[in-house]
C-alpha cells in the first residue's frame, strides 16, 4: 500500500504545518492544504491540524518587519495572528462544509495529568461531533522557560494523546536529507526504519527566520510518535496533495510493531 493510500485509509491523522508554509506570501497555500485535509476527512479519517504561524501572521498587523525578540511583543503578535490564522482556515474549510474548533495548549497542559485528560476529552468530543480541531501552542501565555519549543514536538504529543495512527509533518523542505539540502552532496532519505539512529546524518535547524523547528525537531518528534506506534510522514506542504493522488511517495519514518503502542 502506498503512502497516500495509507493516509486515506487511516482512522485518525494528525497533520502539523510550519509557520513558513502558512504565513506571509505562503498564506495562499492554506486553501490547498485545507483541500487535502478535507479529502482525508471525506475518506473517513478523523483529522487534527497542528498549525504554527500565529506570531508570523500577526507581525505585519503590528506594523513590524521581523519576528520580535521580546516576549511581550511575541505574545501580542500571537494574540492578533491566531485570530486571523484560524479565520483563514475557517474560510477555506467552509467551502468543504467543515467547521474548525480552536484548541490552544501549553507545555504545562500536557505535563499535568488533569489538564492533559481535559485536553484529550475536548479533542475527542470535537472529533465525535465532526469538528476539525486546529491546535497551536498558546503563545500568548507561554513563557520562554515553559513551552514546547516547537510545534513538531507538540504534534507528536498530540498524536500520542489521541492515539493517532498517522502523523504528517509538513514544512518548506520536501524530505529528510543526509545533510542540509542546500549542501552539495545532500541526498534524500526515502525511508527511516524504526530505531534507526541516523548515524552520519547531519541534521540542520530552521532557516526561515519564523519557525523554531527544523529537521532536528522533526526527527525528534518522529521518534517520539513512532515510540507510541504512530507512522510518520515528513514532506513539503505543497506535496501533500500530490502524495494523496499518488504522484509522490513522501518520506516515512515507520512505527514500531503495533504491540508496543503506548497510551499516555
Please report the pLDDT score of residue 210 as a whole number: 46
Helix H, strand E, coil C: the string for 23-36 is: CHHHHHHHHHHHHH
The grid coordinates listed for 157 are 504529543
What's the pTM value of the predicted model, to 2 decimals? 0.88
Per-residue pLDDT of the chain (264 residues; tens, 9 = 90+): 678 888 999 999 999 999 999 999 999 999 999 999 999 999 999 999 999 999 999 999 999 988 888 889 999 999 999 999 999 999 999 999 999 999 999 888 999 999 999 999 999 999 999 999 999 999 888 765 445 667 899 999 999 999 999 999 998 887 777 777 777 777 777 677 676 666 556 655 544 444 445 677 888 888 889 889 899 988 889 999 988 887 665 556 666 555 444 444
E strand map for the chain? 12-17, 46-51, 100-105, 132-137, 166-171, 191-192, 231-236, 251-253
Please report the pLDDT score of residue 256 as a whole number: 58
Given a contact cutoff of 8 angstroms between Cβ atoms, the answer to whether 210 and 20 are in contact is yes
Q: What is the DSSP letter of 178?
A: S
Given a contact cutoff of 8 angstroms between Cβ atoms, the answer to whether 236 and 174 are in contact is yes
Q: How far apart are CA 29 and CA 27, in angstroms?
A: 5
Q: What size, in residues, is the chain? A: 264
Please report the pLDDT score of residue 4 as a whole number: 84
Amino acid at each position: 500500500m502506498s503512502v497516500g493510500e495509507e493516509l486515506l485509509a487511516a482512522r485518525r491523522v494528525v497533520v502539523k504545518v510550519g509557520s513558513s508554509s502558512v504565513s506571509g506570501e505562503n498564506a495562499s497555500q492554506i486553501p490547498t492544504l485545507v483541500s487535502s485535509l478535507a479529502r482525508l476527512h471525506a475518506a473517513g479519517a478523523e483529522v487534527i491540524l497542528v498549525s504554527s504561524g500565529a506570531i508570523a501572521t500577526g507581525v505585519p498587523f503590528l506594523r513590524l518587519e521581523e519576528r520580535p525578540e521580546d516576549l511581550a511583543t511575541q505574545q501580542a503578535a500571537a494574540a492578533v495572528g491566531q485570530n486571523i490564522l484560524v479565520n483563514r482556515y475557517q474560510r477555506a474549510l467552509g467551502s468543504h462544509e467543515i467547521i474548525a474548533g480552536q484548541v490552544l495548549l501549553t507545555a504545562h497542559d500536557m505535563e499535568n495529568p488533569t489538564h492533559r485528560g481535559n485536553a484529550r476529552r475536548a479533542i475527542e468530543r470535537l472529533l465525535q461531533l465532526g469538528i476539525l480541531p486546529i491546535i497551536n501552542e498558546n503563545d500568548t501565555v507561554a513563557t520562554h522557560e515553559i513551552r514546547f519549543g516547537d510545534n513538531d514536538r507538540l504534534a507528536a504529543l498530540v498524536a500520542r494523546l489521541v492515539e493517532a495512527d498517522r502523523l504528517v509533518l509538513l514544512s518548506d523542505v520536501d524530505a529528510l536529507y543526509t545533510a542540509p539540502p542546500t549542501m552539495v552532496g545532500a541526498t534524500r532519505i526515502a525511508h527511516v526504519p524504526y530505531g534507526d539512529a541516523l548515524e552520519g546524518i547531519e541534521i540542520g535547524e530552521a532557516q526561515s527566520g519564523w519557525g523554531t523547528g527544523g529537521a532536528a525537531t522533526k526527527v525528534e518528534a518522529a521518534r517520539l510518535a513512532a515510540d507510541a506506534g504512530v507512522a510518520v510522514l515528513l514532506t513539503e506542504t505543497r506535496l501533500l496533495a500530490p502524495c494523496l493522488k499518488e504522484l509522490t511517495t513522501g518520506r516515512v519514518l515507520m512505527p514500531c510493531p503495533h504491540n508496543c503502542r503506548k497510551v499516555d
